[in-house]
Structure 1
Amino acid sequence: MLEYAKTILVKVSFDKMLFEKELRKALRQLVPDELHQFKAWCYEQFAKSYRRILNRVFAQLA
């Protein structure tokens, strides 16, 4: 599921709203063990473009 979520985010990264929607959906579907790895990957890949979205969405998990 982790690789699938990564693939989807890369494909929708052209659109801010779609990116956030798919990010939230991925977080609901991933198991807790995958969340830390997924978060690190998201920041590595998308921090330049979507740091605010990442901060907001991952802050809601805490």
Structure 2
Amino acid sequence: MPRMIYDYTKSVLERVSFDPILFAKELKKAVKNLLPYEVEQLKKWLQYFTNEHPELKQCLSVVS
């Protein structure tokens, strides 16, 4: 079940990546709902994802 939440979180973040403010809001929700090891996985995924979307780099501070 938790894996499904992690995958769902990634899909939501991909869908809202057009708006950095909305992206940050969803990212904050994700950090509250995910397990600690999933947050670590999300950090790694965000590093990769924000390379393709540099306007979202500022949102990395939410998970740091």
Question: TM-score category by the smaller chain?
Answer: 0.7 to 0.9
Task: Tell me the number of residue pairs that the alignment of Structure 1 and Structure 2 aligns.
Answer: 58
Q: Structure 2 CA distance, aligned partners of 1:51 and 1:39?
A: 12
User: Which aligned pairs between 1:3-42 and structure 2 lie closer than 5 A?
Assistant: 3-42=7-46
Residue 53 (structure 1) aligns with: 59
Q: Structure 2 CA distance, aligned partners of 1:57 and 1:45?
A: 15
Give the superposition deviation at 1:5: 0.4
Give the superposition deviation at 1:49: 2.7
Unaligned runs of 5+ in 1: none
**RMSD over aligned Cα atoms:** 1.1
TM-score by length of 1: 0.83
Unaligned runs of 5+ in 2: none
TM-score by length of 2: 0.81
Q: Which has the higher contact order (CA 8 A, sep 6+)?
A: 2
Question: After the TM superposition, which parts of structure 1 deviate over 3 Å for at least 4 consecutive aligned residues?
Answer: none
Aligned identity (percent) is 38
